[in-house]
Structure 1
């Protein structure tokens, strides 16, 4: 009990600077060196911890890799504190606290060393597995892009990332925030005004308003909130509907977008059917961080487009099932 009560007491011990022939230069050589090492050892794990906290939800790593990273962070931090106490001992001989820190460092060191033989092979193979999974997802996306493009006559165009979406057709959009049914009413009035100024016929105006309303309704229903930006360039209108929901799962995309009456929320499920039968082009980018839909429509009906799956070669690649290995 006395040991723990006097853990940070230096009573009964002599500061290190009085043990031996220490001169000022030699003392500061040790103190400055130990202090710099301590700060560096503390900065490295702190930087790693903050980085993994910020990006951890985007990283798909096996549990063994996370354990190895955690042990490495603890090992570096513990080594740093041994240098801190080495510098402190020149003035405050807290040998008990110094001994506890060194004992903890020894335990963490042995644990890390013993775990390396088991964890390193798993950690090394993790990037290979991740790359294989990424290739598989890319193949699935390409396959779905071709299927959706062909099935909708080139209207629905799947995009893997936001950078692959089309450029806005103007620089000054009209923005409408949709958080309630009242916001949908404001959106409809704005759309009618923009379509009228673009010279749309009554039928084209109705189609444009219906398609955008359905997309905004989906954002409100599935994500609780959506932002709509309306762009106009001459007689062409482009609408961006952005939400921060959970997105459409990859394996649900074909049925969610092509099957009339299907809905992941248990509702009527007419949204995508109405959108694709109304607009000239619909771009879709969806993932775990949200969904972006870009609808585009001109005053006049465009010439029918050739689906990308036809002019790119005709054959649609069959994806490898998820339970089969992917060769490098």
Structure 2
């Protein structure tokens, strides 16, 4: 059990992060793969990643344990690129973590070299992490960030209507809030007492923490604000489709999000910009941009109803979805010659 102790100053400084954290999502996704943790909502992501990633990325699994994550990978506080920041981050507690990991299991040569501070292994770690990020996280970043932003909006409304007590008590199904202590489960079943001591707490929603895993980072830094990474609730859409996936050739032609927008309009009928954004798991502004491009191409139309814009699928959009890209030109020509019959 993890018990986090708040003062009144801590409560005043506690906030929910408004955007996704790249390092947290990267580290948590690696932990999911390294431990074989099942997560049905991320099944499609796993399948797509298996076709996209470089096999040497599996070397990163050497750094993970079932009940722990390397903090130097989990929350990165600077804005440098992934390779550079990760290579340098090993020097900030990475050696101690890896030596502790060596007490649980035999370290691989790669992990041993990192623990000893060997420069080439640090540079390799940076390259591996950057490669993995480009395959596993970057293609989905728009959806990840939208899911976290939706959770932030939910918690902001909750804070305004019910207060911070309600936010803290509903972070996780097993969370227990008894002012001034937040109790959370730990995978290793150890009891740990953590005092925020006036620093407050950042509550960081994460898509790849979707399960029983809760991650705590930065509690040993007296000058920094600690971070509690918690799962985006299970009722939120993640990185999966809803059974209306567009043809692969159409995705290659239009891009994943715009092809998915056509499929959503075909499956659900006309949608407002807000509803379309929800279906695509993107921000409303992003959905509006994609819808404008589709409308300009003649694949959708827009209809204003009061202050709401509603998007409709056109005949050409239906042709592309139903016949696929290969047959679209032939089908469209036949429809035009035949007067639309």
- Establish whether TM, by shorter chain, passes 0.5: no
Question: What TM-score does the superposition give when structure 1 sets the normalisation length?
Answer: 0.25
Higher relative contact order (CA 8 A, sep 6+): 2
Question: What TM-score does the superposition give when structure 2 sets the normalisation length?
Answer: 0.24
